[in-house]
Amino acid sequence: MRAGLAILVTMAVVSSLAIPVVIHKRQVLAEPSVEDITRSLSSPAIGGRVFLTAPQMAETRDPTKWPVVMRSLLRIDRPLGYGQWIWNDRGVGPGRTTVRVDLGTQLISVFRGGHEIGTSVILYGAATHETPVGQFPILSKAADYHSRTYDAPMPYTLRLTADGVAIHGSNVASGRATHGCIGLPLEFARRLFQQAKRGDMVLILR
């Protein structure tokens, strides 16, 4: 199996203690309906969180693609729609912040010390302005940024590239897209902005 969250959201572990958990959903701009992807884990869900077993953690480790070992994921019991998000860092101690953006599922996941603390439906670049993929350190932060190029507010901006691709607050709604940036619901963007630091790594996958 390939390492990464995409594998974790689809694999099933057979056990008498298995707990069915809806973790992540596929969302496509051209198709606003959502498809639930379910899985069962042998490890228990504690406080809205699913803790990975040692073999599962080992499968997520790939230093060339993801800088940390995933230790737990948020337990999500419903599909997320446009503009919806979940943030739960209760019981999660300090640690390195890493961000994973999956353009295929149209979701962002925020991790602290390997524990997922937030997830949200996103907007991303249209076909004429595609969002780049790869690993990007956060270059700068601006809480009240206004784009001169597009004459548009981009609150809670986390800049990823020299040519202006960033993560920022946006009106996340069906049918909308960006000029390459990652658009987040405003309150989720604010929380991520407070959590993230310059140099933190963002992984964008297609």
171 in Cβ contact with 155 (< 8 Å): no
Q: Of the candidates 50, 48, 47, 59, which has an alpha carbon nearest to the alpha carbon of residue 18?
A: 50
Q: pLDDT at position 23, please?
A: 34
3 state SS of 17:
coil
Q: pLDDT at position 200, please?
A: 96
For residue 131, the 8-state DSSP code is P
In this structure, the number of other CB atoms found within 10 A of the CB of residue 57 comes to 16
In this structure, the number of other CB atoms found within 10 A of the CB of residue 114 comes to 19
135 in Cβ contact with 148 (< 8 Å): no
Beta-bridged to residue 129, according to DSSP, are: none
* pTM exceeding the 0.75 threshold for the entire prediction: yes
Per-residue pLDDT of the chain (206 residues; tens, 9 = 90+): 233 444 343 322 222 222 222 333 333 333 322 332 223 333 445 568 999 999 888 887 777 677 788 999 999 888 889 999 999 999 999 999 999 999 999 999 999 999 999 999 998 988 888 999 999 999 999 998 877 776 578 899 999 999 989 999 998 887 787 888 999 999 999 999 999 999 999 999 98
Whose structure tokens read 């784009």? Answer: 147
CATH topology of domain 5-205: L,D-transpeptidase catalytic domain-like (2.40.440)
Q: Of the candidates 127, 97, 103, 125, which has an alpha carbon nearest to the alpha carbon of residue 202?
A: 97
Amino acid at 111: F
Domain ranges of the chain: 5-205
Question: Residue 146 is encoded by which pair of tokens?
Answer: 């206004």
Rg of the chain over CA atoms, in angstroms? 16
